[in-house]
Chain A
Amino acid sequence: MAEASANSPAVLRGRHDFPEISGRIGSIVLSGRLPRHFWTAFFLCFLLVLLLLYSITYLIAVGVGAYGIDIPVAWGTMISNFVWWIGIGHAGTLISAVLLLLRQPWRASINRFAEAMTLFAVAMAGLFPILHLGRPWFFYWLLPLPNVHMHWPQWRSPLVWDFAAIATYATVSLLFWYMGLLPDLAVLRDRARSRRAQLFYGILALGWRGSAYHWSRYQVVYFLLAALATPLVVSVHSIVSLDFTFAITPGYHSTIFPPYFVAGALLSGFAMVLTIAIPLRWAFSVEDLITVRHMDNAAKLMIAAGMIVAYGYVSEAFFAWYSGEPYERAMMVQRAIGPYAPLFWVMLCLNCGVLQLLWFRRIRRNMPLLFAIAVAINIGMWIERYIIVVTGPSRDYLPSAWGEQSLTWLDFGILFGSIGTFFALVFLFIRILPAITIFEVEEVAEEEGKLR
């Protein structure tokens, strides 16, 4: 592994030592000296946070009729945003958990912020089912609570499964992330100069001291959590897809959805990892820790996931035809030539067309181009979710009830607001917590013999 061959660049570039690694990563947080464009970008994101707050206030004051939904298409961007964010949330856990289980060393530099990304994406995603509700202030009725109206959730509803899955996923991701943070928090605690920082990181570090006994148990449980998170991550997006497949609406009712949604989640998740990692490694000059190898691998996973998604598109269309169901067939035809056809073809171009560029190594290792492709796929995946949500009910069983929904400023206000909030959270995370796992990079550095 010591040689960096042309085919497979090394996980870490150059030679490092432990004080250098912990110092470089820790100082991003502790010195507080961040590049000016960091704050510019954060300010822009903060404007979007304000937009989100305004949009939510407006939505709650006026009602869900303020954005584009109607009858027959009673679900709209709140659901597609939800699915999109949850999808983005998947890559983090996958990188952390699955690559940990597979003992992939290249996980180390990117797992921390990928997990953070998961948490923030899930937080954004969790917002949408509530905003989606006609009476959002009663969202807690989805919980089994000992109330005086003696009412229970209706357990057969996929929305209740969703609630359980998202809550579990958010909690498990948080625990997993926090456990991974513990040793690094201890590093920050010891490096901190100010009393406030010492107390802050000290309290969070829980008195971690790196005892061999602790490491032994820690590793077992961390591994077990990874093992739990892996089926969880698959189940979560499968359950999200069941929101659709459980319905009898044409275009929703499809058995391909669970794997297809999971693959779509990975595709969009890795696209978002790249969208964050490429500027991050450049802005903080950590190209030697987050190397081209990481970017290259993520791009390869993207194309793998993307091809499964493409297969999903094909099989969806094929089974609509093969089922012989006139409703399914008509819906699929309408998707391609109906009122939402422009979106459909844009989606295919982005998710299937642009994706193919990643077969070329030179494109994969060209950071600006890779960044552009990642952004394009993020957009494509959002459109895919929107198309799935709206085309089915807009062309379902009774033609008399056919109709389309519109997109209003509020749809976009909330979407872009949530994107801004997500990035604002990412920025805060980078400012407050180590964005790269110190102890694992040190471990990799030692194992790979990259120590000075």
Chain B
Amino acid sequence: MPQIFSKNANGVARFVIWGSCAVLLIAAAIGIILPRSDLLTGVGEPLAQPVPFSHKHHVGQLGIDCRYCHNGVETSSSAGLPATEVCMTCHSQLFTNADMLAPVRASLASGKPIEWQRVNSVPDFVFFNHAIHINKGVACETCHGEVDQMPLTMRAHTLNMEWCLGCHRNPGPNLRPPQDVLMMHWQPPANIDEIRRQLIGVLDIHPETMTDCYVCHR
């Protein structure tokens, strides 16, 4: 009987076999890398805001304390977003006619709040508490990045569970003395490892309890 397949069929078959193996491997690699990439996590991607608020200007250049606007950060689960009034404490004096600030003035006049776009968000079933982190020596910078370098605020870390757990399993490397948590570009002293060891004891941090599910999910 005649051949059903031509001579190159064998080569094609080999190509298909090895090719599908390769495709599978590549798909697996994409499946592992993509959820962690900036493409999906939105890290480093500033969002358009109603007012182009610049942390770079307010924090980096003017040196305003974080707590001036985020006043709940030390005591509450929520760091808090400044009320329009807080913006206007300065901007009733400065840049009073800047077009850029028109929405702020409109908000105060109408009583309608400014709708900011959320930059750092976690899903609804994650209960994050700012106060405990601040009080236990986890700096603003550790999660929010160098906001004083951000003309527009953007996410500095993935904020996914893997990232959270990284620190909750081994908090040491992310600790600093609680009095320095608001400081940007903090330079660890030479004996930082020793300090961190002590901090774990002094602040009564128990990493073995920090991976319990209910720490974040309730």
Contact = CB atoms under 8 A, between A and B. Distances in A.
Direct contact of A and B (CB under 8 A): yes
Interface of A: 145-151, 189-190, 198-199, 202, 207
B160 A198 contact: no
B190 interface: no
4 closest A-B pairs (Cβ-Cβ)? A149-B161, A148-B160, A148-B162, A202-B4
Looking at chain B's contact residues, the main secondary structure is: helix
A199 B165 CA distance: 53
A199 B161 contact: no
B36 interface: yes
Interface of B: 1, 4-5, 10, 31-32, 35-36, 158, 160-162, 165
B161 A190 contact: no
B162 A190 contact: no
A198 B32 contact: no
B19 to A, nearest CB: 15
Given A146-B31, A146-B32, A202-B5, 7 more contacts: A148-B158, A148-B160, A148-B161, A148-B162, A149-B162, A150-B161, A207-B10
Contacts of B165: 150
A148 B5 CA distance: 47
Contacts of B32: 146
Contacts of A207: 5, 10
Nearest to A147: B35
Contacts of B10: 207
A51 B4 CA distance: 42
Contacts of A190: 1
B195 to A, nearest CB: 28
B36 A198 contact: no
B162 A150 contact: yes
A149 B5 contact: no
Contacts of B1: 190
Which applies to chain A's interface (DSSP): helix, strand, loop or mixed?
loop
Contacts, number: 25
A147 B36 CA distance: 9
A145 B32 CA distance: 9
Given A146-B32, A148-B36, A189 B161 contact: no
Contacts of B5: 202, 207
A310 B177 CA distance: 72
Contacts of A202: 4-5
Given A148-B35, A148-B36, A198 B162 contact: no
Given A146-B32, A148-B35, A148-B36, A199 B162 contact: no
A347 to B, nearest CB: 42
Nearest to A151: B161
Nearest to A145: B31
B162 A189 contact: no
A189 B160 contact: no
13 contacts: A146-B32, A147-B35, A148-B36, A148-B161, A148-B162, A149-B162, A150-B162, A150-B165, A151-B161, A189-B4, A199-B4, A207-B5, A207-B10
Nearest to B9: A207
A40 B162 CA distance: 56
A149 B216 CA distance: 12
Contacts of A147: 35
A198 B161 contact: no
A149 B35 CA distance: 11
A183 B54 CA distance: 73
Contacts of A145: 31
Contacts of A150: 161-162, 165
A202 B13 CA distance: 12
A149 B160 contact: yes
A135 B171 CA distance: 34
Nearest to B10: A207
A301 to B, nearest CB: 40
A151 B164 CA distance: 13
A148 B123 CA distance: 14
B165 to A, nearest CB: 5
A417 B166 CA distance: 47
Nearest to A195: B4
A198 B161 CA distance: 53
A204 to B, nearest CB: 12
Contacts of A199: 4
A207 to B, nearest CB: 8
Nearest to B41: A148
B181 to A, nearest CB: 26
B55 to A, nearest CB: 27
From B4, B36, B158, residue with most partner A Cβ within 10 Å: B4
